[in-house]
Every structure is written in C-alpha cells, then in structure tokens.
C-alpha cells in the first residue's frame, strides 16, 4: 500500500519535469550561449521580434492537425509551395505591395485546398502513421512542384517577364526577387520602441489568427476534431464523419501554412524558388516542440514560447560556437543538430508515454485478474 | 474468373510498381532509337547495382522483424564512415584498407545498432518516424564530430588549417575498386565488377540462409505476429534488437562497398538522404512495409538504378530536357507513399 502511494506521487513530479524538459533545456542553452555570443541586448531583441513576426503564423498552422490527433503536420510544406507558386504569378503580373500579397493569398487558396484534400485522403489511408506519410508526402509534392516550376512554367504556363525566367526560356530562376513587397506588411504601422522595430500589423494578423483558433476550437467542427483526436472509433459511433473531419483539418492547416509562407517571404524579400520550403516544416515543428508542445497536445502559448527560445538559440549558436571553438561552422551544425534532436526527443517521449498508458491499463487488468484468482483459490 | 485473377495479381503488384517497371521497359526500348549507347547504359546499371545492392539489403532484417522500413539507415552509414576514415587515419593503404575499414566499422555498427534497437523497442508502433529522426540527428551530430575529432592524415583534412575532415575524400591509393577489380570482366563497353557482385551475392546468401535458421524463422514470426511469437516463447525484444543490429551493420558494410565503387568518401550532409533511395528501391522490387525477400532487393535495385541511369540520357536525347531528377523524386516518393498506405497487419 505504502509503495503504491509513493508510486503515485513521484510520477506527477516526474511527468511535470518531463513535460517541460525541452523548454528548460533550451533556457539553459540560451543562458550559456547569449553571453558567449557577444550580441547586444538591443540587437538580440530586434532579431527575435523580427523572427516572431516572420514565423509565428506558419507555426500556428500546425495546431489544427494536432487537435485532430494527426500529429505534427510535416505536410505544411504543401501550403508553403502553394504560396510560392502564387507569389511567382503575382510577381510576374507585377502587382506590387500589399495588394500583391492579398492577391497571392487568394491565388494560393485553391492550390492549397487541392493539395490539402489530396494529402488528407492519403493520410486517411495511412492511419496510425500519419507523420511519416505526411513527411514523405512533402517530398513527393516537392517533386511535382519542381516539375511545374522548373519545366512547365514558361513553356506551358505563360510567364511574361524574362527577369524571373531561366536564360533557357522556361523554368523559374533560383531566386525570385520580391523587392516590391519586401517588408511592406511589416513596415505599415510599424513602431520603434528603444531602437526595436515592432511590425504591429503583422502582429495584429497573428493575433487575429490566434483568436480564430481559439474560436474555432469551440465550434461544433472544432469539438468534432477533438473527439476524432481522442478516439476515432468513439467519434464514429457518435455520428461524426471521421474521414471528412480529418481532411478538413489538413486542408485548413495547408491553407494557413500558405498564408504564413506569404508573410514569411515578404519579410525575407525574395523567394529561394527551390529551397525556401524544404526546411520550413522542420524548423516550424522544432520551434513548436521547443515551446513545450507534444505530438498530441499543443497550445498557442507553446507557439510563442517556442519561437522565442528556438530562435534565440538559432541566432546565438553560430556566434557562441565560434567563440568557444574558433570555428563558426560548428555552431551552424550545432543548431541543426539541436533542431533534429528536439524533434527526435519529442517523438520518443510521445511514443513511450503512449505505451506507458497502455501498459498501465494492462497492469490494472492483470491486478484485477490476480485478485479474482486469489479469491477463487481462497474459496477452494 | 481469369479477369478476377488478373485483377488480384494487379492489386498485389500495385499500380505504381507497374508504372515504374513499364517506364523502365519503355526507356530500354527507346534507348537505341534516340541514339543512346545501350552497352554503356547496361554497364552503368550493373555497376550501380553493385554499389547500392548491400544498402538495399540492409532493409531486409528490420522489415522481417516488424520494425518497418529502416529510415534510420544513416546511422549504419555513419559507422561505415567512421570505419573508412579511421582505417585511412591509421595508415592502411591499398585493398588492405578496405578490410581494415570493415573491421573497424563493425564494433561501431554493433554498439550503435544495439542502442538504436533498444530505442526502437521502447517505441514499438512509431518506428519509422523515429528512425528517420534518429538518422537525421546522428548525421548532424557527426557533422560537428568530423570537424572536432583529431584526424591528422593529410589526405583527409583541410589543407589550410590542417584539421577538420574534407567534404569528399578521394580513395585513390586506398580501397578504390578493392572489390570491383577482383576478376573484373570487360566485354567491349560492358565491364562487370565481378568481385563486388560476388560480395553482394555472399551477403545476400548469408541473409537468406539466416532467415531459414531457427532464429531467422523466429524473426519472421515476430514480424508477422508479435503476440503469437511471444506466446510461442520467443523473446520479441531480443529478436527485434538483433534485426536492428544486423540492418545497421549491413548499412555500414553497404556504404563501404558503395565508396569502393564510387571512389570517394562523402562526409557531412551526404548520408542525410541516403535512406530514401534504398527504401524506395526495395519497395519498387515488390516489398511491403512488413514483408521483404532477397528477390525484392535484387529486382528493386536493378529497376531503381535502371531508372536513375537511363532517364537522363534517354530524356536528353529525346526532348533535350533533363527531367531525370524530377522523375526520380516523383517515382521513388510515390512508391514509398503507396507502400505506406497499404493496410498491413503490422499497422496495428
């Protein structure tokens, strides 16, 4: 009996530490690296604010599939690719500034929806391994994206301006300049506080998305998603169309990721046509996990904590690495390693917790059986 | 009746696989007409088969024990790279350095494989995703290590600073062609690396024979029905661990064989995406997430490498557009997606 109560008390503390182990580890890394990097506080805060405006929308797009129990949506890259195609068109039509961005957002919607439906349908065929499937999906669609952008644009799909085409006459250049849109959204309504530029409008848009997500989780559809995430069979018995709900969650995530990518690229000021989307999924997922999210539970708070901690590490690691070892490459590799290690750790913790819950249920059953058997023996 | 049979056969064969095989057949038929040099092409396919065969073979043990496709292949490749670089660092030259590399790589592969197997036993059901990220983490960790570890051999480190390994290291004077040159046959433009093919055959036979021993049958049993295997008194965790160690070791040997054919050691981010071609090759050969045979390995590697070598030349000669990279991505990723969506017993 005594042993039992002990067991009960320690896992709570253990769970708490385990749940926040990744953010704690990151706070430690940042605390060590910031003084070593020699960056001024002003510069650091400026960078973090910029990166928050750049990335927060993208990371928020990951929340809805997690709600629906589909894990981390590595297929958010699909939305990013849709946004890039839309932006290529808009810059070819030479529509500049905010109107260009809005138009790009509208063009990206049908592409994102189509890709999202395709992805959702495939994921419904691969229940229980959504993450690896969505991960491979991002590679598969990347192949199609290259086919479209590198071979069809300019030869089949009309592209007027030579400046974004490859010299051979078809295909898009490696970088497409977005100079006409560069930081247009960030600079509108921007304010300076103590030398830190705050892109107010971008933050307002991010805040609106947060409100939307909070509101959405309370609607009927949002509740359905939660139910599907909890237990698909129970949700189906309750009359929820599980397949449809899952597809909707992926479509929403893809569309939002597309919008997020437009915000991201207007901040960068150019599109790296063939590589801009390739790392986006990994960095967004790592940032979300650093914020204390897990594969089946993530909140808006996780997003913001994650952006701050992850990007602080990202900014200071190369400088700190150079200060310690005299080689800046080590810091570069270190931050890539940390990104992957965090995702690995989070996945391992998720799976072990799932198994522990399962085996705990099994042990309870075993104990009940043993008790019954013992009772039976006593009778005999 | 025959129609149903045909349909069933088609279903088990899979549409993507049919498209890929048909595509390769088309390429082979078209090659002479568009002026591609067929003997050179065939020679290329045979050579590339001999380089990649063992990396694909490394999928088999883990698929058999129900651990799924080994997306963690880079972990084994890292062991191989450690063996290769240490063998050169320790001063071995010529074909002897190949033997030394294998011997040095083996303990690394066994230890890393055991750790990897232990981890995969903790997370049954989520193997493939975690394997992918174990591979990525280990590759990026080793990126730092290649810079930090105290290598000194002037043939491997950056000339200017005298430390940190180079991105590509030439094997000239070391084990370039160590296997391929053994009994090499040259008929016109076709050259056959007999030694490499024999080495592959030896390992493939060893795996085949192993799968027919008592332990090997137990491995298949664990893969097809873990509950039944446990009831039959098989130590499921131990068998799974063994399969992971075997896969990791094969990957280590596989990369060494690849290097002796290719002629260079590629470090840093090179092993990053090496798992995906191997995974899609075995799937194209007819394997599924929980079933793979040696035949799948051979057929799959030939088909995959056939497409990789044939598409650029044929496409270039035909439409003056090199779309091979895109076709390769779409074909191989499409194949993996198809395999992941099949309903299998192991997907519980």
pLDDT tens profile A141-157: 999 999 999 888 888 88
Contact by Cβ (8 Å): A203, A300: no
> Quick check: A291 and A304 in contact, CB under 8 A?
yes
Tokens of B317: 């000669």
Residue A216 lies in a domain: yes
Of A346 and A303, the one with more pLDDT: A303
Q: Which residues of A touch B334 (CB under 8 A)?
A: 140
Indicate whether A9 pLDDT > 60.
Answer: no
Q: Which of A145, A172, A337, A358 is the mutation pick for testing B, counting most B CBs within 10 A?
A: A337
Instruction: Tell me if A351 and B336 make a contact (CB, 8 A cut-off).
Output: no
Q: Residue A372 falls within a domain, yes or no?
A: no
Q: How confident is the model at residue A334 (pLDDT cuts 50, 70, 90)?
A: confident
A340 touches chain B (CB under 8 A): yes
Q: Identify whether the C-beta of residue A153 lies closer than 8 Å to the C-beta of residue B153.
A: no
Count of structural domains, chain A: 1
The arithmetic mean of pLDDT across residues A2-11, rounded, is: 47
Per-residue pLDDT, B347: 38
At residue A61, the pLDDT reads: 93
pLDDT value of position B274 = 86
What per-residue confidence (pLDDT) applies to A10? 56
pLDDT digits (tens, 9 = 90+) for A41-52: 888 888 899 899
Indicate if the pLDDT at residue A201 is higher than 70. Answer: yes
CATH assignment of the domain containing A164: 1.10.3470
Evaluate whether residue A380 is within a structural domain: no
A336 touches chain B (CB under 8 A): yes
For B134, the closest of A143, A325, A344 (CB atoms) is: A344
Q: Which fold has domain B16-182+192-342?
A: ABC transporter involved in vitamin B12 uptake, BtuC (1.10.3470)
pLDDT at B348: 34
Q: Is A145 on the interface with B (CB under 8 A)?
A: no
In 3D space, the residue among A164, A176, A218, A200 whose CA is nearest the CA of residue A83 turns out to be: A176
- Closest-CA distance, B164 to chain A, in angstroms, reads 10
On whether residue A366 sits in a domain, the answer given is: no
Whether B122 sits inside 8 A of A142 (CB atoms) is: no
- Within-domain flag for A364: no
Contact between A71 and A131 (Cβ < 8 Å): yes
Instruction: Identify the closest residue of chain A to B321 by CA–CA distance.
Output: A151
- Residue B64 pLDDT: 87
Q: How far apart are CA B125 and CA B229, in angstroms?
A: 16
User: Considering only CB atoms, which chain A residues are within 8 Å of B341?
Assistant: 122, 125-126, 133
Average confidence (pLDDT) over A104-117:
94
Lowest mean pLDDT among A166-175, A220-229, B176-185, B271-280: B176-185
Range A161-177 average pLDDT = 84
Q: What span, in angstroms and rounded, lies between the C-alpha atoms of A249 and A62?
A: 10
**CA atoms of B100 and B83, how far apart (whole Å):** 8
Give the residue numbers spanning the domain of A30: 2-358
pLDDT the model gives residue B103: 92
**Closest-CA residue of chain B to A341:** B137
Q: What is the model's pLDDT at position B106?
A: 93
Tokens of A277: 């989307």
pLDDT digits (tens, 9 = 90+) for B230-270: 888 888 888 889 999 999 999 999 999 998 888 888 888 88
Give residue A379's pLDDT band: very low, low, confident or very high (50, 70, 90). low
- Rounded to the nearest integer, the mean pLDDT of chain A is 85
Q: Does B336 lie at the interface with A, CB-CB under 8 angstroms?
A: yes
Low-confidence ranges of chain B (pLDDT < 70): 1-3, 8-14, 36, 320, 343-348
Categorize the per-residue pLDDT at A380 as very low, low, confident or very high, splitting at 50, 70 and 90.
low
CB B117 within 8 A of CB B244: yes
DSSP character at residue A163? G
Contact between B129 and A125 using a beta-carbon 8 Å cutoff: no
List the single residue in A with minimal CA-CA distance to B118.
Answer: A348
- pLDDT, residue B9, reads 67
Q: Span A342-356, mean pLDDT?
A: 81
pLDDT given at position B346: 40
Question: Tokens 């499409």 label which residue?
Answer: B334
Nearest CA in chain B to A343: B133
Q: Is A44 contained in some domain? A: yes
The ipTM is 0.84
A379 located within any domain: no
Give the residue carrying structure tokens 């650093």.
A290
Nearest to A150 among B140, B148, B326 (CB): B326
Residue A261: closest CA among A247, A286, A289, A281? A281
The CA angle A89-A91-A92, to the nearest 5 degrees, is 60
Please say if the pLDDT value at position A7 is more than 50: no
pLDDT tens column, B126-138: 788 888 888 889 9
Put simply, the answer to whether B140 touches A336 (Cβ < 8 Å) is: yes
pTM (predicted TM-score): 0.86
A347/B122 touch (CB, cutoff 8 Å), yes or no = no
A148 interface with B at CB cutoff 8 Å? no
* The two structure tokens encoding residue B149: 């570890």
Mean pLDDT of A323-343: 81
Question: How far is A187 from chain B, CA to nearest CA, in Å?
Answer: 37
CA–CA dist B249, B109 (Å, integer): 5
A351/B143 CB distance under 8 A? no
């Amino acid at each position: 009996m005594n042993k039992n109560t002990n067991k009960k008390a320690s896992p709570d503390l253990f769970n708490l530490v385990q749940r926040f182990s990744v953010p704690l580890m990151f706070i430690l890394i940042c605390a060590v690296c910031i003084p070593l990097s020699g960056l001024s506080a002003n510069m650091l805060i400026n960078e973090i604010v910029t990166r928050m405006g750049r990335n927060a929308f993208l990371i928020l797009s990951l929340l809805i599939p997690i709600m629906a129990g589909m894990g981390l949506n590595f297929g958010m890259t699909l939305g990013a690719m849709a946004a890039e195609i839309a932006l290529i068109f808009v810059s070819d039509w030479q529509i500049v500034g905010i109107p260009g961005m809005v138009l790009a957002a509208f063009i990206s919607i049908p592409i994102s929806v189509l890709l999202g439906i395709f992805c959702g349908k495939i994921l419904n065929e691969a229940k229980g391994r959504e993450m690896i499937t969505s991960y491979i999906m991002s590679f598969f669609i990347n192949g199609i994206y290259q086919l479209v952008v590198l071979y069809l644009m300019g030869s089949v799909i009309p592209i007027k301006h030579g400046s974004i085409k490859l010299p051979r006459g078809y295909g898009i250049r490696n970088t497409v300049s977005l100079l006409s849109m560069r930081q247009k959204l960030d600079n509108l309504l921007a304010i300076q506080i103590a030398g830190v530029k705050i892109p107010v409008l971008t933050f307002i848009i991010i805040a609106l998305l947060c409100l939307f997500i909070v509101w959405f989780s309370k609607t009927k559809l949002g509740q359905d998603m939660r139910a599907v995430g909890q237990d698909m069979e129970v949700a189906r018995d309750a009359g929820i169309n599980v397949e449809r709900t899952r597809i909707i969650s992926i479509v929403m995530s893809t569309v939002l990721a597309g919008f997020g990518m437009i915000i991201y690229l207007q901040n960068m000021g150019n599109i790296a046509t063939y590589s801009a989307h390739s790392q986006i999924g990994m960095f967004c997922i790592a940032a979300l996990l650093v914020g204390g999210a897990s594969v089946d539970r993530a909140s808006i708070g996780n997003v913001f904590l994650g952006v701050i901690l992850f990007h602080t590490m990202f900014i200071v690691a190369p400088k700190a690495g150079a200060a310690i070892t005299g080689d800046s490459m080590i810091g570069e590799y270190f931050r890539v390693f940390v990104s992957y290690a965090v995702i690995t750790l989070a996945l391992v913790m998720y799976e072990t917790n799932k198994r522990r819950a399962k085996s705990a249920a099994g042990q309870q059953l075993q104990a009940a059986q043993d008790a019954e058997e013992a009772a039976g023996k006593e009778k005999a | 009746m025959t129609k149903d049979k045909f349909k069933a056969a088609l279903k088990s064969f899979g549409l993507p696989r049919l498209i890929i095989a048909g595509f390769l057949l088309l390429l082979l038929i078209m090659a002479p007409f568009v002026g591609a040099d067929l003997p050179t092409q065939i020679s290329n396919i045979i050579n590339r088969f001999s380089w990649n065969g063992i990396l694909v073979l490394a999928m088999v043990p883990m698929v058999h024990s129900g651990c799924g496709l080994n997306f963690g292949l880079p972990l084994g490749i890292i062991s191989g790279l450690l063996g290769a670089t240490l063998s050169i660092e320790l001063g071995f030259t010529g074909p002897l350095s190949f033997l030394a590399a294998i011997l040095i790589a083996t303990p690394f592969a066994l230890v890393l494989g055991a750790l990897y197997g232990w981890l995969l036993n903790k997370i049954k059901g989520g193997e493939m995703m975690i394997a992918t990220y174990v591979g990525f983490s280990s590759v990026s960790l080793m990126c730092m290590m290649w810079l930090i570890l105290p290598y000194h051999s002037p043939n491997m480190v950056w000339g200017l600073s005298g430390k940190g390994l180079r991105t590509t290291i030439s094997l000239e004077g070391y084990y370039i062609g160590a296997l391929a040159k053994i009994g090499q046959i040259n008929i016109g433009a076709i050259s056959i690396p007999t030694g490499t093919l024999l080495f592959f055959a030896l390992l493939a036979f060893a795996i085949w024979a192993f799968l027919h021993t008592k332990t090997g049958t137990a491995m298949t049993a664990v893969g097809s029905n873990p509950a039944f295997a446990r009831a039959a008194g098989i130590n499921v965790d131990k068998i799974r661990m063994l399969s992971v160690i075997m896969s990791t070791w094969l990957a280590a040997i596989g990369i060494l064989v690849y290097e002796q054919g290719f002629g260079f050691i590629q470090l840093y981010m090179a092993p990053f995406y090496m798992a995906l071609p191997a995974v899609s090759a075995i799937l194209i050969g007819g394997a599924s997430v929980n079933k793979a045979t040696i035949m799948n390995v051979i057929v799959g590697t030939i088909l995959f490498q056939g497409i990789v070598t044939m598409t650029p030349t044929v496409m270039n000669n035909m439409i003056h557009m090199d779309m091979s990279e895109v076709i390769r991505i779409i074909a191989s990723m499409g194949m993996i997606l198809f395999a992941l969506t099949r309903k299998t017993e192991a997907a519980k």
